[in-house]
Structure 1
Amino acid sequence: MDATAYTQDQLRELIQGPSDVEWTYEMRRQCQEILPRLFLGPLQASKSLEALQSLGITHVVCIRDAKEAFSVRPRFPEHFHYMVLDVQDSEEQNLIRLFPQAKQFIDDAIAKGGCVLVHCNGGISLSPSFVVMYTMQYYGLSWEDALHLVQNRRYCISPNGGFMTQIKEYESIYKAKNAIASHPQQGIVSVRRKRSDEDDEDHIQREGARNKRILIDDDDDDAMET
């Protein structure tokens, strides 16, 4: 089903999540399906070839701090397509800059009928932040609703303060992109108007400078006559 075809009632049900699932501590070590064919989990979920194949996983987004590279790494490159993102698990890390390439990888995989696992070391802060932003744009949700949707399927997620700030910022970013995409001509007109205004301003500045030179030349001529 096209994400844009959901009614408000259907979106509310999606956000609330399944009511028949009782969360247990052990589930922290497993991955959960957040969207159709998009799973979120920790490092442990990426270690079992049999478990990944049973879920139909075809692509894996491996997100890690550089110092974790020896353990958080592609384990079955002969079986799955991997994207590795080396980031810092700190509040200063810019996730918004890295997100577009992760989104493209996930989009391409799902478009081909694949299933994607997004994981980091613990599946608590880093990888959930990417999945919340993806969910937000996928369903056209606010950051609060996207966060609740992901949290209602993987209860243990808790993005750090810096990541939460970027998740909130991303809402206005993706909505602005959608607005431009749906009204491209307005964007062109706006750019042309801006360029026209800049040209007018340049013309005014040139005319002002020319008039100033004329006045100076006239003053010099008067001074010479005197």
Structure 2
Amino acid sequence: MNPPPLSQDRIKEIVQGPGDVEWRYEMRRECQEILPGLLLGPFVASKSLQTLQDHRITHIVCIRDAKEAFSVKPRFPEHFQYMVLDVEDNEEQNLIRLFPGAKNFIDNAIASGGRVLVHCNGGISLSPAFVVMFVMQYYQMSWEEALHTVQNRRYCISPNGGFLTQIKEYEAIYRASNAVAAYPSVQRSVARRKRTDEDDEDDDEREDGRKRPLVKEESMEVDPNAMET
């Protein structure tokens, strides 16, 4: 679920973000709304039932290093719908392979009127990488615009080098996917026009055949004076 393409002026407004927010160091331990219905933060924000209820959270994406599974885990499964992703928080981890599932979970939650918190342990590198990719595709913007959109709402994010490379790569992937999705409809439209043109030509030929006057063949006259050979 993505909104229609936005004008460059509108994209600039979104990237800039709210101008009345003064970032404070302790806000690293809080969650921030990145786009309507999508929040990003650290694990500590997901441990407070009161905080989650204050933000009207309904769904939580818990992204954790496999080694953190004993501590970074769903705390309130009876209150919220969780998606847990076990990954390795290093530059070699393939996030692009895992992203479609997370995107589908977030899309469905927002479409149903829910609000989603995406978090990892610190909310600095791992979960922000997922959110940047989501924002990029949601608003159909460049990776730089998406990164700045998230940074201007949660100032402390800093995806590691490997994650940043994958964020850049994902721009080409989602744009190609959009182009492929749009191509069949264009192809069908061209095919329909071609068939219509051919049908029109056939109709014209049939109409010409009905209108064409019959030509009466004249009988050959024999000259009696002609020399026979």
Per the TM alignment, residue 182 of structure 1 is displaced from its structure 2 partner at its CA by 1.1
Q: TM-score, normalised by structure 2?
A: 0.79
Distance in 1 between residues matched to 2:56 and 2:22, nearest whole Å: 23
Distance in 1 between residues matched to 2:119 and 2:162, nearest whole Å: 19
Deviation digits for residues 34-74 of structure 1 (CA, Å, limit 9, x no counterpart): 01010000011101101101111000000000110111100
Amino acid at match of 1:162: G
Distance in 1 between residues matched to 2:157 and 2:187, nearest whole Å: 38
Indicate the SS of the match to 2:50: helix
Per the TM alignment, residue 187 of structure 1 is displaced from its structure 2 partner at its CA by 7.8
Where does residue 96 of structure 1 map in the other structure? Answer: 96
Asked if the contact 1:31–1:40 (Cα under 8 Å) also holds between the matched residues in 2, the reply is yes
Per the TM alignment, residue 11 of structure 1 is displaced from its structure 2 partner at its CA by 1.3
Per the TM alignment, residue 7 of structure 1 is displaced from its structure 2 partner at its CA by 2.6
* Structure 2 gap ranges (5+): 189-229
Where does residue 72 of structure 2 map in the other structure? Answer: 72
Where does residue 21 of structure 1 map in the other structure? Answer: 21
Where does residue 31 of structure 1 map in the other structure? Answer: 31
Distance in 2 between residues matched to 1:161 and 1:68, nearest whole Å: 21
Larger Rg: 2
Asked if the contact 1:95–1:166 (Cα under 8 Å) also holds between the matched residues in 2, the reply is yes
Where does residue 209 of structure 1 map in the other structure? Answer: none
Asked if the contact 1:180–1:187 (Cα under 8 Å) also holds between the matched residues in 2, the reply is no
Across the aligned residues of Structure 1 and Structure 2, the Cα RMSD in angstroms comes to: 1.4
Amino acid at match of 1:180: V
| 1:118–1:187 Cα change, 3 Å | farther
Aligned length: 187
Distance in 1 between residues matched to 2:3 and 2:15, nearest whole Å: 13
Where does residue 43 of structure 1 map in the other structure? Answer: 43
* Structure 1 gap ranges (5+): 189-226
Q: TM-score, normalised by structure 1?
A: 0.80
Where does residue 196 of structure 1 map in the other structure? Answer: none
Where does residue 140 of structure 1 map in the other structure? Answer: 140
Distance in 1 between residues matched to 2:26 and 2:143, nearest whole Å: 27
Amino acid at match of 2:107: D
Where does residue 53 of structure 1 map in the other structure? Answer: 53
Higher mean alpha-carbon deviation, 17-26 vs 176-185, is at 176-185
Identity %: 73
Distance in 1 between residues matched to 2:163 and 2:170, nearest whole Å: 10
Asked if the contact 2:59–2:115 (Cα under 8 Å) also holds between the matched residues in 1, the reply is yes
Per the TM alignment, residue 149 of structure 1 is displaced from its structure 2 partner at its CA by 0.2
More helix, by proportion? 1
Per the TM alignment, residue 6 of structure 1 is displaced from its structure 2 partner at its CA by 3.3
Per the TM alignment, residue 8 of structure 1 is displaced from its structure 2 partner at its CA by 1.9
Amino acid at match of 1:62: C
